[in-house]
Amino acid sequence: MTITPLMPVYPRCGVRPVRGEGCYLIGERGERYLDFAAGIAVNMLGHGHPVLVKAIADQAATLMHTSNLYGSPLGEEFAQKLVDATFADTVFFTNSGAEAIECAIKTARRYFHVTDRPHRSKIISFTNAFHGRTLGGISATNQPKMRDGFEPLLPGFEVVPFNDLEAARAAVDDRTAGFLVETVQGEGGMTASTPEFLQGLRQICDEQGLLLILDEVQCGYCRTGKFFAHEHYGITPDIMAVAKGIGAGFPLGACLATEEAAKGMVFGTHGSTYGGNPLAMAVGSAVFDVAVNDTFLAHVTAMGDRLRQSIEQLIPNHDKLFDSVRGLGLMVGIKLKDAADAREFVGHLRDNHGLLTVSASENVVRLLPPLVIEESHIAECIEKLSAGARTFEPAS
Ligand SMILES: *Cc1c(COP(=O)(O)O)cnc(C)c1O
């Protein structure tokens, strides 16, 4: 037997964390890492946040799981908070981002089914997109590394260039249901939608009665300094997928929708055994209460500005390695020059300087720190980035 007990789908690195303390991870041998990956934009309150720990412990001792056969006082309370704070009128809770995307796609298809236009089943999505690893999610991206060998994929998807409004407009025909787009692409390279693009998609949807589905699994939930990233653009979606930060480390996702868009989601159309169980709802509510307020969001904006400015100052000193900085709030990407490889540099920072980051497409290093970082963490990150840049020797 040569296959490992853990199915070998991840090229795991040598870091083997056993404990977390705030913005740090501690490995098996006691080594400390500054965690600017945060479980890929998940641990927004850092590790071991007392409010999160208490919410989990208290609810686990009170009532963990019941199934959706029964009424859900905690679910109603949390859904109401999300409805009050967003464009949405209704929420379906999931355990992950991919399931939230799946619910979004199903909600869109059902909408056209119940409004007598079942032929409108095609969803237009965009190059470099990442929408999770379900068959629905991989059908909505053009990235071969996620699709290869899983064919036949779902019909009813068309991928056109990201941030190209005219291409999006040209792809619309009488079979189109709407657009599925990340407000800010994460995996795809930390690229924000341009205002013209996102506002243009909204306008096309309004003019033609189509649905705008936003994937804010990575960029949403306070990451960019707004509760949701589309608030930077002055538009709202009809349907939105949320996950990652919403549970701050507890597996939780949500599909939010307007009353109109959710028209087809009636009794029996969708479901999940675990989705929205009492433990998840207690955690979601507790995280919401810590993070969704002006003080917390102002902190994210201030730290994001600080981090970005510090990196901008660093670039001229290392201009053979660093090309430019991009992103929004604490969703920051450093694009490297072609001569260097982002994955290699991420490994170098991790192994030699104790800084955890994540690579993305387009040769970008992603910085996704906990949203509770302080200036001292930014200073430490910049020190490590600078030292890492000095000592980095590209393999090629
Ligand atoms: C992470 C991610 C997903 C998938 O979420 P999972 O919880 O891994 O299923 C979907 N969309 C975006 C934009 C993501 O970043």
Measured distance CA(346)–CA(336) in Å, rounded: 11
CB 99 within 8 A of CB 275: yes
User: What pLDDT is attached to residue 368?
Assistant: 98
Take atom 15 of ligand 1 and give the residue whose Cα is closest. Answer: 218
Pocket test for ligand 1, best of 244, 252, 272 (most atoms within 8 A of CB): 244
CA of 244 to the centre of ligand 1 (A): 7
Instruction: Report the nearest atom of ligand 1 relative to the CA of 129.
Output: 13
pLDDT at res. 396: 59
pTM of the model: 0.98
Q: What SS3 class is residue 42?
A: coil
> Among 217, 219, 246, 358, which is best to mutate for testing ligand 1, by the most ligand atoms less than 8 A from CB?
217
Ligand 1 centroid – CA 106 distance (Å): 17
Distance 151 CA to ligand 1 centre (A): 21
CATH assignment of 63-291?
Answer: 3.40.640.10
Domain ranges of the chain: 17-48+294-391, 63-291
Of 338, 333, 340, 343, which is closest to residue 366 (Cα–Cα)? 333
Q: Please give the number of the atom of ligand 1 that sits closest to the Cα of 215.
A: 13
Burial 79-117 (b: 16+ CB within 10 A, else e): bebbeeebbbebbbbbbbbbbbbbbbbbbbbbbbeeeee
- With CA atoms as reference, report the closest residue to 232 among 217, 249, 219: 219
| Strand (E) or helix (H) holding 240 | strand 239-242
Cα–ligand 1 centroid distance for 265 (angstroms): 22
Query: Which residues approach ligand 1 with their CB closer than 6 A?
Result: 96-98, 101, 130-132, 182, 186-187, 215, 217-218, 243-244
17-48+294-391 and 63-291: identical CATH topology: no
Q: Is 15 helix (H, G, I), strand (E, B) or coil?
A: coil
Question: Which of left, alpha, beta for 143 (phi over 0: left; psi -120 to 50: alpha)?
Answer: beta
pLDDT at 290: 98
Choosing from 94, 102, 130, 364 the residue with most ligand 1 atoms within 8 A of its CB, the one to mutate for a pocket test is 130
CA distances from 284 to 77, 221, 244, 254 (A): 10, 11, 11, 10
Residue with tokens 């994955």: 343
Instruction: Provide the annotated active-site residues.
Output: 130, 215, 244
| Closest residue CA from atom 5 of ligand 1 | 97
Residue nearest to atom 11 of ligand 1 (CA): 131
State in Å: Cα 391 to ligand 1 middle: 33
Amino acid type, 260: E
Per-residue pLDDT tens digits of the chain, which is 396 residues long: 899 999 999 999 999 999 999 999 999 999 999 999 999 999 999 999 999 999 999 999 999 999 999 999 999 999 999 999 999 999 999 999 999 999 999 999 999 999 999 999 999 999 999 999 999 999 999 999 999 999 999 999 999 999 999 999 999 999 999 999 999 999 999 999 999 999 999 999 999 999 999 999 999 999 999 999 999 999 999 999 999 999 999 999 999 999 999 999 999 999 999 999 999 999 999 999 999 999 999 999 999 999 999 999 999 999 999 999 999 999 999 999 999 999 999 999 999 999 999 999 999 999 999 999 999 999 999 999 999 999 998 775
Q: What would the DSSP string read from start to end of 260-326?
A: TTTTT--TTS---SSTT-HHHHHHHHHHHHHHSSHHHHHHHHHHHHHHHHHHHHHGGGGTTTEEEEE
Superfamily the domain 17-48+294-391 falls into: Aspartate Aminotransferase, domain 1 (3.90.1150.10)
pLDDT at res. 293: 98
C-alpha 217 to ligand 1 mean position (Å): 6
Nearest C-alpha neighbor of 106 from the set 71, 134, 129? 134
Ligand 1, atom 6: closest residue by C-alpha: 97
